[in-house]
């Protein structure tokens, strides 16, 4: 049976020791006894006690001297001093030194049981307080670590922004010179030279894509929380993005479908951010869809939100990759094996922006069949009213 408490009685009087045992054991307490301070101290050090009844005057010293070593072992052990009439003053001193209470000899079983129960309740409360203090300390530590991580993340973004920014001009400059050579404006080239320079040009395209993605990612991260967002109608932005990709879609014989809604659909965002967001999702849909497929953008309303869905009939995403898509530089296994190039940064940028606009993004995909990215963003009230009317 589980004990109500582990009690140690340290008293040189056999009568007190056995009296305590007789009174407390039937109440469900586990009672241990020691006849001297030396033995009592040894037992405190060897075993776990919840409460110690401590005689104030013992042949080998004063019980009060045990308070310190007992609390060194466990500061929540409750010490109750057993005192005679003549030693009340000493008992008061004991309380000042950390004893919980005292009972004067002779005492009744009821007084003893009540004092022990109160002492154990006090122990339970102290332990609970300590537990809550630890949780509080832990929470404060987590806040500190979170702030430190945000600081480091900002440092990383600033560094990335600086490097990408410094790289873009020389790379773009080099590519423009390369294109001049490819066009034959710097003298004739043989077939092999043209082929090699085309490959260099392709690699430079990839390098510029990486630089641009790094810049977008750093920009999406460096937005200050208090930077004001504007009410923006998403219809013309999506239309513009669809138009920008129409040639690319035609080249791959992909049917590109978007039916704009007549009414304005306003969300709180930034125009640049929305272009980046939709460009990334549309670019991916076309990039990961093979010839003859289709890509559709649709708008729906749900509760107080607008849902913008980009669906494609492309290669899909393996199930195990889906949870990692928002990580920086992550590319799904089917794509890594393919020849389709990419940086793995687009969706991290998308995620940052959607969160910035208090929205959400969800992906539904079946490998080999297609993918849907559903962006949900809170609607501005005025546009919701328009929509209802
Ligand atoms: P990437 O530059 O590689 O396209 P993103 O961050 O934009 O990087 O996307 C991360 C990964 O998510 C891609 O590498 C690809 O594996 C997967 N992915 C994103 N969009 C699609 C899509 N429409 N169809 C299939 N896979 C996609």
Which structure tokens are listed for 85? Answer: 């009439």
Instruction: Provide the pLDDT confidence category of residue 223 given band limits of 50, 70 and 90.
Output: low
Q: How many C-beta neighbours within 10 Å does residue 276 have?
A: 23
Instruction: Please state, in angstroms and rounded to a whole number, the distance separating the CA atoms of residues 278 and 375.
Output: 10
Give me the pLDDT at residue 226, please. Answer: 52
Atom of ligand 1 nearest to the CA of 348: 6
Atom of ligand 1 nearest to the CA of 213: 2
pLDDT above 60 for 55: yes
Which structure tokens are listed for 271? Answer: 């125009």
Instruction: Please state, in angstroms and rounded to a whole number, the distance separating the CA atoms of residues 312 and 178.
Output: 35
pLDDT above 60 for 385: no
Atom of ligand 1 nearest to the CA of 321: 16
What residue owns the CA closest to ligand 1's atom 25?
Answer: 316
Give me the pLDDT at residue 389, please. Answer: 30
* Ligand 1 contact via 91 beta carbon (within 6 Å): no
Give me the pLDDT at residue 306, please. Answer: 95
Give the burial class of 124: count Cβ atoms within 10 A of its Cβ; 0-12 exposed, 13-18 middle, 19 or more buried: middle
* Ligand 1 contact via 346 beta carbon (within 6 Å): yes
* Mean predicted confidence (pLDDT) in 231-253: 95
**Consecutive H or E run containing 128:** helix 109-182
* Ligand 1 contact via 100 beta carbon (within 6 Å): no
- Residue 82 pairs in a beta bridge with 55, 103
* Mean predicted confidence (pLDDT) in 200-227: 83
Instruction: Provide the pLDDT confidence category of residue 363 given band limits of 50, 70 and 90.
Output: very high
What residue owns the CA closest to ligand 1's atom 7?
Answer: 346
Mean per-residue pLDDT of the chain: 91
Instruction: Please state, in angstroms and rounded to a whole number, the distance separating the CA atoms of residues 271 and 278.
Output: 11
* Ligand 1 contact via 344 beta carbon (within 6 Å): yes
Instruction: Provide the pLDDT confidence category of residue 224 given band limits of 50, 70 and 90.
Output: low
The DSSP code sequence of 133-150 is HHHHHHHHHHHHHHHHHH
Instruction: Please state, in angstroms and rounded to a whole number, the distance separating the CA atoms of residues 102 and 108.
Output: 13
Mutate to test the pocket of ligand 1, among 254, 347, 363 (most ligand atoms within 8 A of CB): 347
**Consecutive H or E run containing 354:** helix 346-356
Q: How many C-beta neighbours within 10 Å does residue 130 have?
A: 12
* Ligand 1 contact via 312 beta carbon (within 6 Å): yes
All domains of the chain in start order, with CATH? 5-107 (3.40.50.2300), 137-221 (1.10.287), 230-378 (3.30.565.10)
pLDDT in tens, 245-285: 999 999 999 999 998 888 889 999 999 999 999 999 999 99
Give me the pLDDT at residue 387, please. Answer: 45
**The pTM is what?**
0.65
Instruction: Please state, in angstroms and rounded to a whole number, the distance separating the CA atoms of residues 307 and 376.
Output: 4
- Measure CA of the first residue to CA of the last residue in the chain; give whole Å: 71
Mutate to test the pocket of ligand 1, among 290, 319, 346, 350 (most ligand atoms within 8 A of CB): 346
What residue owns the CA closest to ligand 1's atom 8?
Answer: 344
Atom of ligand 1 nearest to the CA of 342: 2
Give me the pLDDT at residue 218, please. Answer: 82
Instruction: Please state, in angstroms and rounded to a whole number, the distance separating the CA atoms of residues 113 and 325.
Output: 63
How many Å lie between the centroid of ligand 1 and the Cα of residue 165?
A: 24
* Ligand 1 contact via 317 beta carbon (within 6 Å): yes
* Ligand 1 contact via 335 beta carbon (within 6 Å): yes
* Ligand 1 contact via 214 beta carbon (within 6 Å): no
* Ligand 1 contact via 325 beta carbon (within 6 Å): yes
Instruction: Provide the pLDDT confidence category of residue 82 given band limits of 50, 70 and 90.
Output: very high
Atom of ligand 1 nearest to the CA of 345: 6
Q: Which residues contact 19 (CB under 8 A, 6 or more apart)?
A: 109
In 3D, which of 299, 199, 283, 195 has the Cα closest to residue 242? 283
- How many residues does the structure list for the chain? 389
In 3D, which of 317, 308, 296, 307 has the Cα closest to residue 364? 317
pLDDT above 70 for 374: yes
Map residue 65 onto helix, strand or coil.
Answer: helix
pLDDT above 50 for 309: yes
Give me the pLDDT at residue 312, please. Answer: 98
* Ligand 1 contact via 343 beta carbon (within 6 Å): yes
Give me the pLDDT at residue 220, please. Answer: 79
Instruction: Please state, in angstroms and rounded to a whole number, the distance separating the CA atoms of residues 109 and 82.
Output: 13
Map residue 334 onto helix, strand or coil.
Answer: helix
How many Å lie between the centroid of ligand 1 and the Cα of residue 323?
A: 12
């Amino acid at each position: 049976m589980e004990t109500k408490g582990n009690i140690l009685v340290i008293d040189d009087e056999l009568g007190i020791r056995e009296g305590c045992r007789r009174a407390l054991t039937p109440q469900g307490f586990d009672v241990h006894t020691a006849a001297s301070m030396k033995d009592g101290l040894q037992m405190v050090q060897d075993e776990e006690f919840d409460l110690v009844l401590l005689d104030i005057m013992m042949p080998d010293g004063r019980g009060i001297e045990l308070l310190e070593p007992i609390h060194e072992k466990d500061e929540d052990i409750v010490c109750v001093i057993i005192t005679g009439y003549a030693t009340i003053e000493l008992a008061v001193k004991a309380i000042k030194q950390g004893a919980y209470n005292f009972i004067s000899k002779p005492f009744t079983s009821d007084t003893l049981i009540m004092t022990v129960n109160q002492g154990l309740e006090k122990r339970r409360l102290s332990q609970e307080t300590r537990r809550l203090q630890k949780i509080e300390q832990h929470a404060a530590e987590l806040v500190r670590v979170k702030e430190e991580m945000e600081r480091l993340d900002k440092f990383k973004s600033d560094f990335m922004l600086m490097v990408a920014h410094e790289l873009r001009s020389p790379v773009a400059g080099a590519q423009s010179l390369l294109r001049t050579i490819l066009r034959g404006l710097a003298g004739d080239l043989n077939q092999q030279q043209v082929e090699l320079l085309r490959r260099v040009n392709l690699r430079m395209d990839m390098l510029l894509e990486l630089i641009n993605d790094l810049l977008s990612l750093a920009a999406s991260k460096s937005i200050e929380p208090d930077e004001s967002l504007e009410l923006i109608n998403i219809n013309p932005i999506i239309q513009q993005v669809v138009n920008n990709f129409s040639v690319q879609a035609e080249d791959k014989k992909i049917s590109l479908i978007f039916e704009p809604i007549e009414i304005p659909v306003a969300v709180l965002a930034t125009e640049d951010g929305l272009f980046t967001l939709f460009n990334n999702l549309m670019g991916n849909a076309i990039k990961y869809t093979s010839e003859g497929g289709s890509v559709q953008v649709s708008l729906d309303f749900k509760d107080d939100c607008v849902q913008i869905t980009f669906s494609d009939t492309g290669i899909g995403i393996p199930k195990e990759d889906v949870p990692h898509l928002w990580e920086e530089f992550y590319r799904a296994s089917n794509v890594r094996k393919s020849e389709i190039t990419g940086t793995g940064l687009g969706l991290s940028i998308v995620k940052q922006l959607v969160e910035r606009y208090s929205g959400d993004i969800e992906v539904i995909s079946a490998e080999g069949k297609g993918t849907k990215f559903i962006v949900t963003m809170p609607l501005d009230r005025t546009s919701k009213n328009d929509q209802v009317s």
